[in-house]
Amino acid sequence: MNNGYIDIKFLNQKPSILIDMDMTLNNINTEWTRLYNETYNDNVNPQNITDWYIQDFFTKCTTEQTFQLLETPELFSKMVKPSPNSIKVTEILSKFYELYIVTACTHECVISQKFEFTEKYFPHIYKTNVIICHNKHLIRGDYMIDDYIENLKAFTGGGKLLINCPHNLNVETPENIQRVDSWNDILYYFAYHNKELMDYLDIDILNNCGECYEQFDIRNMLGMKQMLNMKFNIQ
């Protein structure tokens, strides 16, 4: 505090992680494709959407109609589901990092649904930490997790994680961007780079796994994965 004012840099001592919502924390493309197939009598498989521009795969409707599907009532609040292990892993990460959800939203009616989705599945991430922003490069943080490589390229923080999805598998990845297959791998990444998190997992695993602990070398990446899989039942 200086002359009655608080220096905001001291308010949060945790490193920050900026987390995308769509196709990072949830399965929006699965539900989006389902709605398209039901509405326009098609049979598109979301696993075959191999490019960012989903409208190119919804050939029986216009681009405008494609994005109008996102206005479906309760799409985010009741239909869309969290990505596997995203709840469990973000709960753990929130003990050591300040988590922010940074999500683009061009439909006003969806904004409130995204807040409902966060409150329902990720109550450990404060609603005040949900940022609606199309130009994500304007948001500063230490790490970013996203499925869109252009957001990561523009990000000025140190850690950039691209979560693999069908639409980004063919995209060339710069050396400073780390690809991950799942939230399992995201936990491994942060545990491997954060001693406090590693120690927390180490002690917790030791206390809960007992005689199995000596089977693995927790300081070895492979051993750590095996132990975390056993402790948190992540497969």
Give yes or no: 22 in active site.
yes
Q: Which of 20, 146, 147, 185 is catalytic?
A: 20
Q: Which of 22, 146, 147, 185 is catalytic?
A: 22
Yes or no: say if 58 and 40 are a contact pair by the CB < 8 Å rule: yes
Instruction: Please tell me the distance from the alpha carbon of residue 99 to that of residue 96, in angstroms, as a whole number.
Output: 9
Yes or no: say if 125 and 99 are a contact pair by the CB < 8 Å rule: yes
Instruction: Please tell me the distance from the alpha carbon of residue 86 to that of residue 232, in angstroms, as a whole number.
Output: 12
Give yes or no: 20 in active site.
yes
Instruction: Please tell me the distance from the alpha carbon of residue 198 to that of residue 227, in angstroms, as a whole number.
Output: 12
CB atoms inside a 10 Å sphere around CB 148: 20
Burial label for 101, CB within 10 Å (0-12, 13-18, 19+), is buried
Please state, in angstroms and as integers, the Cα–Cα distance from residue 1 to each residue in 11, 12, 13, 192, 235, following that order. 10, 14, 15, 35, 47
Q: Which of 38, 28, 29, 33 is nearest to 77 (CA)?
A: 28
Which residues belong to the active site?
A: 20, 22
